[in-house]
């Protein structure tokens, strides 16, 4: 009996120690200068290279501007994000940059922040029904159109296409898909033969593309709503990628750019996530200083192909 209660105490102590270590290690970004204004970056997920790059861009800009940046990760859960925003509203926060998990779900939490006169800058996705100080976003619909144009060019404006969709119901998937459909409709000799979800996930895209190629062996083009899925599709195509079948992705992640350099990925629409992060910090600093800021700051989306990939690779 004694040894078992001892074990239990040991287990509890270990757990507590872990939690403490976790909180102290994670709560803040880098940099020790606690002197700067406190800005919270509430990010939807760090489970995806795109947002990791966005965070890195913001962190770099914050270090430069002497901002004390706190980064919280909602792990794609709206409820978690609401809690994190509520915590931000209660602290000594001077500004909040929010990358909402869901544009509708975040509106109440953002409302509380604006009511407390804390400037809120949305990044990448907007927050509906909220008085945002500013929105920094790339135009996903325009990006989808550009992707359609690139793919059409690669295919000689004729042939059949597979479209790989992201997580059903997300705004990124909706907007990119809508832009692509609109863009591809301008090429009468191109038909989209299958539209299936692969959940923005490389492994799913591998399986789904393999299956779709079975049903549609003659496709010459694949559009994927993000680079991860494009890379999965390339894996499924094997040697056919880049030669018989042109693949166009979206996001311009490091792996995607590498794939463009080696020719397996024809093009991607680069969102410049680091630029999104950098601009968001700049706007936050301006807002804290009381300067006027633009209501929407569009960030250029750029089609990246082999010709200009050098400008993007780091």
Stretch of 29-37, 127-135, 227-235, 285-293 lying at the interface with another protein (CB under 8 A): 227-235
Quick one: which of 36, 46, 171, 305 contacts another protein (CB under 8 A)?
Answer: 46
254 is a site residue for another protein (CB under 8 A): yes
Question: Pseudo-torsion of CA 97, 99, 100, 106, nearest 10°?
Answer: 10
Q: Which of residues 53-92 bind another protein (CB under 8 A)?
A: none
CA pair distance 236, 228, nearest whole angstrom: 13
Residue placing its CB nearer to another protein in the complex, 177 or 183: 177
Cα of first residue to Cα of last residue in the chain, in angstroms, is 60
3-state secondary structure of 111: helix
The site map against another protein for 159-198 (x = CB under 8 A) is ------x--x------------------------xxxxx-
What are the structure tokens assigned to 239, written together?
């040697």
Task: Indicate the DSSP class of residue 103.
Answer: T
Quick one: which of 36, 49, 78, 157 contacts another protein (CB under 8 A)?
Answer: 49
Q: Scanning the structure block, which residue is given the tokens 């795109």?
A: 50
Q: Burial-class residue 124 by CB neighbours within 10 Å (0-12, 13-18, 19+).
A: buried
158 is a site residue for another protein (CB under 8 A): no
Quick one: which of 28, 36, 52, 80 contacts another protein (CB under 8 A)?
Answer: 52
Quick one: which of 40, 42, 48, 81 contacts another protein (CB under 8 A)?
Answer: 48
Q: Which of residues 200-219 bind another protein (CB under 8 A)?
A: 201-203, 206-208, 210-212, 214-215
The residues with which 270 forms a beta bridge, in sequence order, are: 251, 302
19 is a site residue for another protein (CB under 8 A): no
Please check whether residue 123 is in contact with residue 276, taking contact to mean a CB–CB distance below 8 angstroms: yes
Q: Burial-class residue 45 by CB neighbours within 10 Å (0-12, 13-18, 19+).
A: middle
Stretch of 32-40, 106-114, 231-239, 281-289 lying at the interface with another protein (CB under 8 A): 231-239
Residues contributing to the site for another protein (CB under 8 A): 1, 7-8, 11, 46-49, 51-52, 165, 168, 193-197, 201-203, 206-208, 210-212, 214-215, 228, 231-232, 235, 254-255
């Amino acid at each position: 009996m004694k040894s078992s209660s001892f074990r239990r105490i040991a287990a509890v102590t270990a757990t507590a120690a872990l939690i403490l270590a976790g909180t102290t290690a994670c709560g803040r970004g880098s940099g020790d200068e606690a002197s700067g204004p406190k800005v919270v970056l509430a990010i939807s997920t760090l489970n995806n290279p795109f947002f990791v790059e966005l965070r890195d861009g913001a962190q770099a800009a914050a270090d430069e501007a002497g901002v004390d940046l706190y980064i919280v990760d909602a792990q794609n859960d709206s409820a978690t994000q609401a809690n994190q925003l509520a915590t931000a509203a209660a602290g000594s926060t001077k500004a909040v940059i929010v990358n909402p998990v869901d544009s509708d779900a975040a509106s109440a939490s953002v409302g509380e922040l604006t009511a407390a006169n804390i400037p809120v800058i949305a990044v990448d996705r907007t927050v509906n029904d909220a008085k945002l100080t500013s929105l920094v976003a790339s135009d996903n619909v325009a990006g989808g159109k550009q992707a359609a144009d690139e793919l059409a060019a690669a295919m000689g404006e004729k042939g059949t296409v597979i479209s790989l969709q992201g997580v059903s119901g997300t705004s990124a998937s909706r907007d990119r898909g809508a832009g692509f459909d609109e863009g591809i409709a301008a090429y009468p000799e191109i038909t989209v033969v299958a539209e299936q979800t692969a959940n923005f996930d490389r492994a799913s895209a591998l399986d789904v593309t393999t299956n779709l190629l079975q049903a549609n062996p003659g496709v010459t083009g694949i559009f994927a709503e993000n680079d991860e899925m494009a890379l999965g599709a390339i894996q499924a195509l094997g040697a056919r990628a880049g030669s018989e079948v042109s693949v166009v992705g979206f996001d311009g992640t490091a792996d995607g750019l590498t794939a463009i350099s080696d020719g397996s990925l024809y093009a991607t629409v680069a969102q410049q996530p680091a630029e999104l992060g950098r601009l968001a910090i700049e706007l936050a600093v301006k807002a804290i200083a009381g300067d006027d800021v633009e209501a929407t700051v569009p960030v250029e989306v750029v089609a990246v192909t082999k010709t200009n990939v050098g400008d993007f690779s780091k």
